[in-house]
Structure 1
Amino acid sequence: MENPNQIFENDHYNEDLPFQAALSSENLLLNVPNELAGMRLDAALAKMLPDYSRSRITTWIKDGLVLCNNQEASPKDKLIGGEELHIQIQQSDENQAFEPELMDLDIVFEDDAVIVLNKPAGLVVHPAAGNWTGTLLNGLLAHCPELSQVPRAGIVHRLDKDTSGLMVVAKTLPVQNHLVQQLQNRSVKRIYRAVADGVVPFDGKIETLIGRDPHNRLKMAVVKFGGKEAITHVKVLERYQSHSYIECSLETGRTHQIRVHMREARHPLAGDLVYGNPRHVCSQPVKDAVKKLARQALHAYRLSFVHPKSDQSVSFEAPIPDDMYYLLSVLRLESGLDSSLSKEIEWANEFADDEDDWNEDDYDVEVMYVRD
C-alpha cells in the first residue's frame, strides 16, 4: 500500500502535508492543510484518506461520525484550512476482502512460481459487492501469505462462481506479468468440458463480438458493434437424445464467453440460470439431474501454459466433478450408452497425446455460428 502521508503527488501534494493519519485505527484526528482550503469537506477528506471511497466518507459525515472543530458538519461545508477533524472510522465488509481465511483448496501443482488449483463450483474467485469474504482470494492469502504482496493475490484469470475447474495463480509480480502476457498473446490453452442443450450437429468455430447486453447490464451478449472479439472452438464428444457433451477451447477470454456463445448457437449450457433455457424439452430423469446440478454444466478441464521460470510448456487436467459426472451418467443411460464414462477416458487419452488437436484444419466446418 502506498505511504498514506504521500497523498496525490501528481496533484502537487507531498509528504510534508501537516497531518498524520493512522489508517488502521478506528478514530482519527486530522488537521486540514492549507493546500485544501476552499474544498468541500467530503472532497478534502477523500484526498486526505485515499484508502476510503468518497461515498463512504460522505456517509460518515451524514451519520455524524465526522466532527469539524468539535461540531457536526455537512459534506458540502467549505474548508478554510487549519480545521481539526475528528473521524470515527466505521469498518465495512470491504475491509475483510483481503483478509486470509483458511480454506480447503484443491492444489493440483505448486512450486515457487505458480499455484495451479481446481476450483469447486460455488466458490467466488475475487471479492466484490455481496461477496467480500469466503472467496478464493481469501483462501489463497491463508495458503500463501506472500501473495499479499502481489496484486489480486496473484490471480491472473477468473472462473464464474458456478464454473468448476483449473486456474493458475502467480506467486510473484514478475510471474504474474509473464502469465498475463501469455493470456494476451493467446499462448495459454484453456479447454472446457460442458453439457449443452440439444443435439449439437457438428464441430466448429464460434467467432463474434461480445459486450454488455444492452437490455440487461448484468449480462453479456453477442453484439454487432462495440464488443470485444471472442473466439470459441467446439468439438462434440457425445450426442444424447436431448443434450450434447462438448469440449470448448478458448482463443480469447471474455466474460461468460462459452455460456454466451453456446446460447447464441441455440445450444445453451444445461442448468445455466442466466443464459440457459429452463423450458428445454427432455425426459423427467434428465430434468431432475439438471435440477440437482444447480449450476451451469461447465468445467475447466485442461490448462496449458509456458512455465515462467523454466520456459517449458506444462499442462494440467482436472477430472469431471461428481455433479457433472452424475448428469452425464443419466444422459448416457437414457441414450443406451455405457454410463461408466469409458469414452471420457478415451477422449482424455487421445487429447493428451495430441498437441495440435485444436488446429482449425481439424474441423469439419470452419464456422459453427458467426454473427455479421
Structure 2
Amino acid sequence: MKRIFYYTIPLKFNNTPLLDFLKAEGYSHQVITHLKRTMNGILLNGIWAHTWDILHTNDYLTIQLVENVSSENIVPADLPLNIIYEDEDLLVINKPAGMPIHPSQGNYDNTLANALAWHYLSLGEPFTYRCINRLDKDTTGLLIVAKHMYSASLLYHMSAERKISRTYLAIAEGEVPEEGTITAPIARAEGSTIERCVDEERGETACTHFKRISYKDGYSLVSLKLETGRTHQIRVHMKYIGHPLPGDFLYHPDYSRIHRQALHSFKLSFQHPITGEPMAFQAPIPDDMKVFL
C-alpha cells in the first residue's frame, strides 16, 4: 500500500519546524516514526527532509506513506464480506451476525479480520487490520476499518472525541418509554471475563440515548445513540432499565423469537478523516429482526 499526500505550507507555519506541521495535521508519533524510516517518506520541495527542517510559506511538502507488511497471525479465510464503501483511506462494512471482529481464543479463522485478509490477499495487496468501532460478535451492521496507519490515527482520535455518530436499532422486551437517556456506569462483572454490569462504584461513565419507534405484541423497536462506547453498553443499559434485548445469551437468553441479541448498527456518520467530506451510511435491518417484527 502506498498513499501520497501533498501540502502547500500556509503562512502560519512560516519559520516553524516540519514536525510541528505534521503534528498539526494529525500525524501520530507512530506514523511520523514510520515516515522517517521510509526512503523519501518526507519530501520538502522535492528533497528528502528531516522533521527538524524549517518550513517557509508556499513550500510544498510530499508525504509518502508506504506499508508493505500485512497483519501477522491473521489467517486469510473466505468468509462473507459486505463492503458498503471503500476509498484509499477507509472501508465501511456491514457485518453479519455470528462474526467476531478480530481473532481471539476460540475464534481463530472466523472473524472480520480473516475475511479482510482473504479479500486483500486475493487482490495481491498487503493489508494491516485496523478496526475503528467495535461490534459484538452477534451484533450486525456498520463499522469502519482504516486502510493505513494515518487514517487509523485520525479516526481513533475522532472516535475518542465522539466525532463519529452511531445509531443502533434494537428490539427490546416490553414497552420502552417514549425516549430517555441512561447514564449508569458500567464495569466488568465480578468473576467473569466477558460479562458487564452497572456498578456505581467501579463503573466507567456510560451514556446511551434512546427513543421508542414502535411497540407491538410485548416488544419495542428502539433507536439508540451512544455517547460512550463501553463493552456491551446497549445490552447492559437496556437490561438495567428493565427492557433487555431478546436472544442475548449473556443478559436475556430468551431464544423464542430470535437466536442472537436483536441489535443492529444502523447508521454511521462522520467527516472523512482526510478530505473532511461529510459521510453518512445506513445498513438495512437484517432479516432475523425483520421476521421478529
**Is the pair's TM-score, using the shorter chain for normalization, greater than 0.5?**
yes
- Any runs of at least 4 consecutive aligned residues in structure 1 with deviations exceeding 6 A, and if so which? none
Q: Which of 82, 86, 89 is residue 113 of structure 1 equivalent to?
A: 89
Unaligned runs of 5+ in 2: 1-70
- Looking at structure 2, the residues matched to 230 and 144 of structure 1 have their Cα atoms a distance apart, in angstroms, of 36
- Looking at structure 1, the residues matched to 259 and 287 of structure 2 have their Cα atoms a distance apart, in angstroms, of 13
Identity %: 40
Change (3 A) 1:171 1:267: same
TM-score by length of 1: 0.57
- Looking at structure 2, the residues matched to 144 and 174 of structure 1 have their Cα atoms a distance apart, in angstroms, of 19
The secondary structure found in structure 2 opposite 1:208 is: coil
- 1:266 alignment counterpart: 242
- 1:316 alignment counterpart: 281
Superposed displacement of residue 148, structure 1: 5.3
- 1:326 alignment counterpart: 291
Superposed displacement of residue 245, structure 1: 0.5
- 2:149 alignment counterpart: 173
Unaligned runs of 5+ in 1: 1-94, 279-286, 329-372
Code of the residue aligned with 1:102 in structure 2: it is: D
Alignment of 1:220-235 (within 5 A): 220-235=196-211
Change (3 A) 1:216 1:232: same
- Looking at structure 1, the residues matched to 201 and 136 of structure 2 have their Cα atoms a distance apart, in angstroms, of 25
- 1:100 alignment counterpart: 76
- 1:306 alignment counterpart: 271
Greater share of helix residues, 1 or 2? Answer: 1
Superposed displacement of residue 165, structure 1: 0.3
Alignment of 1:20-59 (within 5 A): none
- Looking at structure 2, the residues matched to 216 and 266 of structure 1 have their Cα atoms a distance apart, in angstroms, of 22
Superposed displacement of residue 202, structure 1: 2.4
- Looking at structure 2, the residues matched to 216 and 104 of structure 1 have their Cα atoms a distance apart, in angstroms, of 31
Superposed displacement of residue 147, structure 1: 8.0
For the 8 Å contact 2:120–2:127, the answer to whether it is kept is no
Code of the residue aligned with 1:174 in structure 2: it is: Y
The secondary structure found in structure 1 opposite 2:224 is: strand
Deviations along 1:260-302, one digit per CA (max 9) or x if unpaired, are 0000011001111211163xxxxxxxx74x1xx2101000000
The secondary structure found in structure 2 opposite 1:218 is: coil
- Looking at structure 2, the residues matched to 112 and 200 of structure 1 have their Cα atoms a distance apart, in angstroms, of 42
Superposed displacement of residue 96, structure 1: 8.6
For the 8 Å contact 2:185–2:203, the answer to whether it is kept is yes
Structure of greater Rg: 1
Deviations along 1:18-48, one digit per CA (max 9) or x if unpaired, are xxxxxxxxxxxxxxxxxxxxxxxxxxxxxxx
1:211 aligns with 2:179: no
- Looking at structure 2, the residues matched to 196 and 297 of structure 1 have their Cα atoms a distance apart, in angstroms, of 8
- Looking at structure 2, the residues matched to 165 and 155 of structure 1 have their Cα atoms a distance apart, in angstroms, of 14
- 1:18 alignment counterpart: none
Superposed displacement of residue 149, structure 1: 5.3
- Looking at structure 2, the residues matched to 309 and 154 of structure 1 have their Cα atoms a distance apart, in angstroms, of 16
Code of the residue aligned with 1:117 in structure 2: it is: I
Superposed displacement of residue 317, structure 1: 0.2
For the 8 Å contact 2:76–2:109, the answer to whether it is kept is no
- 1:255 alignment counterpart: 231
Superposed displacement of residue 215, structure 1: 4.8
- 1:245 alignment counterpart: 221
Code of the residue aligned with 2:180 in structure 1: it is: G
Superposed displacement of residue 306, structure 1: 1.3
- 2:176 alignment counterpart: 200
For the 8 Å contact 2:117–2:127, the answer to whether it is kept is no
Provide the aligned length of Structure 1 versus Structure 2: 221
Change (3 A) 1:223 1:120: same
Code of the residue aligned with 1:137 in structure 2: it is: A
Superposed displacement of residue 217, structure 1: 3.7
- 2:22 alignment counterpart: none
Code of the residue aligned with 2:86 in structure 1: it is: E
TM-score by length of 2: 0.72
Deviations along 1:99-139, one digit per CA (max 9) or x if unpaired, are 22222311100011111010000111100001111211011
- Looking at structure 1, the residues matched to 79 and 106 of structure 2 have their Cα atoms a distance apart, in angstroms, of 19
1:158 aligns with 2:168: no
1:125 aligns with 2:101: yes
For the 8 Å contact 1:194–1:269, the answer to whether it is kept is yes
- Looking at structure 1, the residues matched to 216 and 223 of structure 2 have their Cα atoms a distance apart, in angstroms, of 15
- Looking at structure 2, the residues matched to 128 and 217 of structure 1 have their Cα atoms a distance apart, in angstroms, of 13
- Looking at structure 1, the residues matched to 216 and 183 of structure 2 have their Cα atoms a distance apart, in angstroms, of 26
The secondary structure found in structure 1 opposite 2:207 is: strand
For the 8 Å contact 2:269–2:278, the answer to whether it is kept is yes
